[in-house]
Amino acid sequence: MKVELKKCRLADVKDHLLCVFLMQDEEPSWDIKQFLKDVKKERFTGKLLQTFYADSNGKAGYKHLLIVGLGKKEEFKLDFLRRAAGLSVRYAASLKHKELAIYLPGRFISRPELTRRAQAITEGAMLASYKFYKYKTEKEDLFEVEKIRIVSEDDVAEGIRLGMIYAGAQNYARELDELPANVATPARIAAEARKLGREHGLSVTVLDKRRMERMGMNALLAVAQGSEQEALLVKLEYNKGRNYPIYAIVGKGVTFDSGGISLKPALNMHEMKYDKTGAVNVLGVFKAVTELKLPIRLIGVMPLVENLPSGSAQKPGDIVTAYNGKTIEVLNTDAEGRLILADALSYAAEEKPEYIIDMATLTGAVAICLGKHAIGLLSNDDALAKTLIEAGNESHERVWRLPLWPEYSEMIKSDFADIKNISETGEAGTITAAAFLKEFVGEIKWAHLDIAAVDLVKPPHPYLDKGASGIGVRLVLETLSRLPKKK
């Protein structure tokens, strides 16, 4: 989908379908009011996502008008614009309109706020337009809106540009995440990283099994030893060698997670192709960072494995030595994400970045704790956590911080090794998983994002279709854009 700016007055709009957003009880402009003057109040009051549709009958330059409610003015949130834009795109698609104009009024609104609003509308429209059609053989009934024009009397081109980059990166990650495990092997994801590197001028390094064995990445390799797919670790670098603040992002990349010997139940196991969400989100972030030309140096680390049971698979009770020398007792082979992240985090920490952020579909416990509406955040640094919270509120990829007190680290101490990969009490699963990861970042300021509850969308959602959500991409992008300003 293409989104562009049409700089003109509302009265001068000449489009097939125009969409206007109104607050509850907001007085519409005269050219819109003419289509509402005979409408009973209960038909359209401006409640959030309430709609009104009318033909102009030659009374305006546009043929059709769609009005979408934004709710009460005192309750307005930026995300309501994403929702309204998403609804508008879906409405247009249902009526087979290939193009849609969305009006953005600028009266009494500051330039920075207008930019934010244009970005939110663009994001909502682009995210709602995305659908995964790759394996559909019959596409006659699949209709897509091709162009959005944001109509404004003000120059909001920068907001549109940012929205296209942010949403484009998220849709790119969603496309990769939807690929099934027989296609999206570790090798395929590594190849995609190389392709991204060529297209965007990134440095890309891929460590194979032999090299990781020499380096002592035994925690990562242990997870993969039951599969015929070779484990890989991918390192991406943006602005390599430049004199900028150094940050690192790490993403869990289990291309399929059966649980290994600690086998998962069969119900919904097909969704375990999404256990690579953290890794593909890293690729999405790097795509956008290069397009934004952020003044930072960024390192990305993606441990890529497939976790399957076989005669060679790791077993409960095994003890492995991680890259940083810590020994780990593996009590549950389905707690594999923290094992591959252990080596990946240690590897990233060697670069001495100012901050490390990891994204991982790590625990089912986070969904029990927070439901589908928030990302679990755990961190050893208050300033980094605060920035993530602020960025989450802006992007509406909201986070909720959980404690990481020393008592939780006590719960993962092992009788036979340094630490164990689960607590045997069954308590505080999300927190003890993060306490495990903290053992591998040393003194680096670090934040862990448990995205296991938000990686997958099932209807209804205002602007994300069923399947991979890509949630976390815009959150981390917004965080990275804010971090240099915090210095």
| Helices (runs of H) and strands (runs of E) counted in the chain | 14, 20
Pairing of strands 456-457, 467-468: antiparallel
Which amino acid, residue 391? A
Active-site option among 72, 77, 194, 264: 264
Could you confirm whether 136 is annotated as catalytic?
no
Cα atoms in the Cβ-side hemisphere of radius 13 Å centred on 124: 24
Distance (Å) of CA 449 to CA 166, 388, 436 = 19, 10, 14
Q: Using omega within 30 degrees of 0 as the cis cutoff, is the peptide bond preceding 460 cis?
A: yes
- DSSP type of residue 263: P
Could you confirm whether 210 is annotated as catalytic?
no
- Around Cβ 485, how many Cβ atoms within 10 Å? 7
Residue with tokens 């998220």: 170
Q: Roughly how many angstroms between the first and final C-alpha of the chain, as a whole number?
A: 37
Active-site option among 117, 273, 338, 398: 338
- DSSP state letters, 310-362: STTS--TT-EEE-TTS-EEE-S-TT--HHHHHHHHHHHHHTT--SEEEEEE--
Euclidean distance between CA atoms 316 and 244, whole angstroms: 44
Euclidean distance between CA atoms 148 and 101, whole angstroms: 6
Query: Residue 295 is encoded by which pair of tokens?
Result: 């003044």
Query: Residue 400 is encoded by which pair of tokens?
Result: 């909720």
Total residues belonging to the chain:
487
The answer for 325, left when phi > 0, alpha when psi is -120 to 50, beta otherwise, is: left
What residues are labeled active site? 264, 338
